[in-house]
Amino acid sequence: MADGYLRRTAITRPILTDEQQDLLDVSINEWKDACNISSRIGWDTGETRKTYLQDLAYDTVLEETHLGSQHAILATHQAAAALDGVDAIENLDEHYKTSRPEFTSNTVKYDTRTMTLFDDGSVSLSTVEGRIRCDLNLPDEEDGYQHEYLTDDEWEVTESTLSKRDGEYYLHLGFRKDKPEKQVETQGDDEDRTVLGVDLGIVNIATTSTAHFASGRELRHRHREFERIRGNLQQTGTQSAHRTIRQMSGRESRYLRDHLHQVANQILEEARTHDCEYIAFENLKHIRERAPPVKEFHQWAHRQLVDLVEYKAEAEGISVEFVDPKNTSRRCPECGHTSKGNRVRQAEFECESCGATQNADYVGAKNVGWRYVCRGLQSSRRTGDSQLALKSGTVTPNRGFVPSD
């Protein structure tokens, strides 16, 4: 990002008493009023700059709402950002009719002065009647994606948002840390660069060239169960059934998101362990072209997983690249022989030429990574060897297999 920071959002739910919910409801309504007051003043005066609008609207917000001083400031800044967005649209198209921004969403902004996170997994939030403190509904597993931001001192809390949707409260926690330099930009052109290949599948949602297998079995099972129960409820057709479907969809989304975050973390751990500067995936457009057997759910899961790896890799200074996966499931990584007959069964690979037998997903991962290694050789600027990371070493086009120390 232009300001030199990586920014991430971790979504969780505060565990609230009825009294705390009532206080937050009032605070949300007061926040909307404050933003609309500031928006009106900024619209009438033509002011879109945060500090200038703060000077114009701050006193009025304090007089007409029950917000504290810091929340009043945040509301003026929120309105200024919305007004600036409208101004930008008008500058792009003078014929486009715009109107004053109105704030209707059930949300309220927090920053480090109005919200405090504690090490015990609780949070303190400012309201119109002082602060409330409550626990956060965090995953039991320590590798749930929220924990990587809450427990890593490199990530600092920034502006966050509390929202209310369908009677449920969600806290979108904002984090930032200094953006690292790309590893591939800090090394000389004559340095060896190591690639981690990743195959995306169904039985194993992801397999790496270092022989890490992320099973897709639990993901498929949970999705089938959600679909079965959802179908039964849809046949019922009652209002209660529809409410249950909405609640279930939220639980399913949270489960899938947490599971894919864990898989993405495992892929990044493989890259770190094997000192990889690149992670290579198959080009996602080919996933759609392969269906069937790849169904819509798996297409979605693969896209989400790659997106997660991309932004997590950015935080590590690792580059994510894509290759054409054509024949990556049919090429023998030992002798290079490519044939449809090499793929004995969905999970098994046996080369017709040299007789090598391996797990088919593992073959795909090695071939995906190898294709990117070979692409690098075509660069006129490259004077060193690119190499593919394997479980017990690396393989390069020039030197062949090199065992790890």
267 and 233 in a common domain: yes
| Structure token pair of residue 123 | 């949070």
The answer to whether residues 361 and 201 touch, using CB atoms and an 8 Å cutoff, is: yes
Expressed as residue numbers, the domain containing 119 is: 5-178
189 and 133 in a common domain: no
204 and 145 in a common domain: no
Mean pLDDT of 157-170: 93
129, 149, 178 - which closes a domain: 178
Residue partners of 253: CB distance under 8 A and separation at least 6: none
> Length of the chain in residues, anyone?
405
DSSP state of 13: E
222 and 152 in a common domain: no
297 and 217 in a common domain: yes
178, 206, 228 - which closes a domain: 178
Residue range 31-75, pLDDT digits in tens: 999 999 999 999 999 999 999 999 999 999 999 999 999 999 999
Percent of the chain with pLDDT over 70: 85
358 and 224 in a common domain: yes
152 and 266 in a common domain: no
178, 194, 218 - which closes a domain: 178
Residue range 368-385, pLDDT digits in tens: 999 998 876 554 444 456
252 and 166 in a common domain: no
174 and 31 in a common domain: yes
What CA–CA distance (Å, rounded) separates 189 from 249?
Answer: 49
What global pTM score does this model have?
Answer: 0.61
User: CA torsion, points 137, 141, 142, 143, in degrees to nearest 10?
Assistant: -110
Q: How many domains does the chain have?
A: 2
165 and 294 in a common domain: no
| Structure token pair of residue 83 | 């007004």
254 and 170 in a common domain: no
213 and 83 in a common domain: no
